[in-house]
Structure 1
Amino acid sequence: MTDTQKRVRWAREYETIYILRPTVKADEAAKVAERIVEVVDRLGGKITQVDNWGSRKLAYKIAKFSRGIYVYVKYVGFSDMVAEIERNLRLLEPVIRFQTIQLRDDVDIDAIEVDAEETKFLPIEEVELEPEPDIATQLGLVERARPQAAEPAEEEAASDEEGEDAETEDEG
């Protein structure tokens, strides 16, 4: 290989989605983001896209939470990077679940251009959790106040008046 030829560094493209506790503070969420950026930079990768999906309902309870804050990160790197990111996510307390998927093989890491706006981790909005109803309420064992329906006699009288108005218009 001559000096004029450039050595291509082939990497893989991955996406990781992690879920934060819904009670997470903004500074804790920022620590998670900083840790991911630090690992990717240290191991020679590039973050290409970050998206904060916000608070969403979980399919099932995780660590007694029925909601979580979803964050999507797309990056290019090498296989050891994925293992290190996942190891760090396991150690961080605000993260309750994560998953990484390989998107593409043989990506030229030097040819990838990164848009600074797309790789910015946005601050997490702190959300007040709504108290969940207790099990008795969920099962319908507790009486709840129900909205009162209109009286049937009033409804019939109102419909009769409308009918009379329609008849007088036809005659006139």
Structure 2
Amino acid sequence: MAKVSANYEVLYIIDPAQGEEGIPALVQKFKTLVETHGTLKEIDEWGKRRLAYPINDLLEGYYVLMTFESGSEFPAELDRIFKITDGILRSLIICKDE
């Protein structure tokens, strides 16, 4: 039988050029998205940090780590939304139950 829900961890990097209003707006957007499709456990904003390697000629990014519980179909949709959202440099979603 398939799992009904699982624990996930997502780390995403926001382009710091989004500014003081754009970064909190993106964090709130993804927080709301996760809360509507699952249970948000924790959100940890690491802030602006140096990237390990340049991405689109940028050397810094704003890191956000979220842990949540949701059904198995939601992470694929979340990944799709990360990819089409302007201002998101990279994202990684991991299932912690596996």
TM over 0.5: yes
Amino-acid identity (%): 25
Post-superposition offset of 1:85: 1.2
2:80 equivalent among 79, 83, 87: 87
Counterpart for residue 65 of structure 2: 72
Q: Deviations over 1:18-38 (max 9, x none)?
A: 001122223222332233233
Task: Give structure 1 regions of 4+ aligned residues with deviation exceeding 4 angstroms.
Answer: none
Is contact 2:4-2:72 (8 Å) kept?
no
State the AA in 2 paired with 1:97: R
Q: Deviations over 1:8-61 (max 9, x none)?
A: x94100000000112222322233223323322332x11100001111111110
Give the aligned residue type for 1:85.
Answer: L
Q: 1:22 aligns with which of 16, 20, 42?
A: 16
Question: Is the contact between residue 35 and residue 88 of structure 1 (CA under 8 Å) also seen in structure 2?
Answer: no
2:15 aligned partner, one-letter code: R
In the other structure, the counterpart of 2:34 is 40
TM-score by length of 1: 0.51
Distance 1:73 1:19 in 2: 12
Q: Letter of the aligned partner of 2:11 in structure 1?
A: I
- Does structure 1 retain, via aligned residues, the 8 Å contact 2:16–2:23? no
Structure 2 unaligned blocks of 5 or more:
none
Q: CA RMSD in A?
A: 1.7
Aligned length: 96
Select which of 5, 20, 42 maps to 1:11. 5
Counterpart residue type for residue 30 of structure 2: I
Unaligned runs of 5+ residues in structure 1 are 1-8, 106-172
User: How far does the alpha carbon of each residue in 1:58-87 deviate from its partner, in whole angstroms, 9 at most, with x for none?
Assistant: 111001101111000100001211011111
Counterpart Cα distance in 2 of 1:84 and 1:101: 14
1:54 corresponds to 2:52: no
